[in-house]
Amino acid sequence: MTSSFTHGPQQAARQTCYAAVIFDFGGVLTTPMDDTARHFAREVGLPHDSYRHAVAVHPDGRRLYAQLERGEITQEEWNTGIAALLGIDGTNLMGRALAMLRPEESVVVAAAAIRAAGLRTAILSNSMGLSPHNPYEPWDLESAHDVLVFSEQHRLRKPEPEIYELTLELLGLQGPQCVFVDDNPAHLIPARQLGMTTIHATDPALTVARLQQLIPHQ
């Protein structure tokens, strides 16, 4: 696998001036979402890519996910809609689909070290719903980070610029003071437009190496 690193303007001039790192959740602080999706499909006897296709490719599934992320529908409504697309039982579908999701330990440790070094850390996540299944709970994010922004709580979602601006406002910082880490390249664009340095996280070891390069924390 490869990882790409992109940055905002005048990166070299401000490498030592960062005050915070903003992390995406799924696929950055966790094991890959696609791996989890394929495991779930196999568990329920579906073709290996069918669940991922339903939520990320099928137009009705994409619409349901966008509505969930904005808090326009509940997780239970999402469960029912996605289950209908797949022809399976919708009971606690989100919880079952994410059952194999695990912390990406190297990135979690790096985030803790960065915070211990005196920088602030934040989570900016397009929500997967918080009830009845809360996928964030095992990570104890409230104590591990300074600011948490879950899209459904603000009726906004990445890559809408307003949710990045909200995160900066809650941190009390400007874009050039922050590094933003996300596994979706489309979600990096608004961050760069606000002056943030961005890391496209596609491999944990390389993500940690890029963070170490920008913010020596070990």
7 pLDDT more than 80: no
pLDDT band at residue 168 using 50, 70 and 90 as cut-offs: very high
- pLDDT for res 50: 96
Instruction: Give the pairing of strands 20-23 and 178-182.
Output: parallel
pLDDT in tens, 195-208: 999 999 999 999 99
Tokens of residue 177, six digits: 């003071």
CB 133 within 8 A of CB 94: yes
CB 190 within 8 A of CB 24: no
Query: Stretch 208-212: mean pLDDT, rounded?
Result: 97
Q: What are phi and psi of 91, to 5 degrees?
A: -60, 120
pLDDT band at residue 216 using 50, 70 and 90 as cut-offs: confident
Global pTM value: 0.91
Instruction: Give the pairing of strands 197-200 and 4-6.
Output: antiparallel
pLDDT in tens, 110-138: 999 999 999 999 999 999 999 999 999 98
CB 181 within 8 A of CB 4: no
pLDDT in tens, 133-157: 999 998 999 999 999 999 999 999 9
pLDDT band at residue 12 using 50, 70 and 90 as cut-offs: very low
Q: How far apart are CA 26 and CA 101, in angstroms?
A: 9
pLDDT band at residue 88 using 50, 70 and 90 as cut-offs: very high
Residues comprising the chain, all counted? 218
CB 204 within 8 A of CB 211: no
Tokens of residue 2, six digits: 């490869």
Q: How far apart are CA 2 and CA 153, in angstroms?
A: 33
pLDDT band at residue 16 using 50, 70 and 90 as cut-offs: low
